[in-house]
């Protein structure tokens, strides 16, 4: 359900962000065109490398979320 550069749980990601003063990004992925474009951007190694030292990013797939 969540991934995108951070292999741990959301709780661990939040702890890391607080301790390191990093930016916490959440990408709510859907099936629309905007989500497809955003996912493609995050799959680019240049984007991942540039953001990995200053942020923690997670992707939540809205198709798999239950409300």
Q: Where are the domains of the chain?
A: 2-61
Task: Report how far residue 11's alpha carbon sits from residue 32's, in angstroms, rounded to the nearest whole number.
Answer: 28
Q: What does the pLDDT look like over 18-35, one tens digit per residue? A: 999 889 988 888 889 999
- Given the structure tokens 């200053």, which residue do they identify? 54
- Is the pTM of the predicted complex or chain greater than 0.75? no
Query: Higher pLDDT residue, 66 or 1?
Result: 66
Q: Is 1 helix (H, G, I), strand (E, B) or coil?
A: coil
At residue 62 the predicted structure's pLDDT band, cuts being 50, 70 and 90, is: confident
Task: Report how far residue 14's alpha carbon sits from residue 32's, in angstroms, rounded to the nearest whole number.
Answer: 27
Percent of the chain whose predicted confidence (pLDDT) is above 70: 85
What's residue 41's pLDDT?
87
SS (H, E, C) 20-62: HCCEEEEEEECCCHHHHHHHHHHHCHHHHHHHHCCEEEEEEEC
């Amino acid at each position: 359900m969540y991934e995108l550069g951070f292999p741990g749980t959301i709780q661990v990601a939040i702890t890391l962000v607080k301790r390191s003063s990093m930016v916490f990004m959440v990408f709510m992925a859907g099936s629309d065109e905007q989500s497809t474009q955003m996912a493609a951007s995050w799959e680019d190694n240049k984007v991942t490398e540039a953001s990995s030292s200053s942020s923690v990013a997670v992707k939540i797939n809205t198709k798999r979320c239950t409300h």
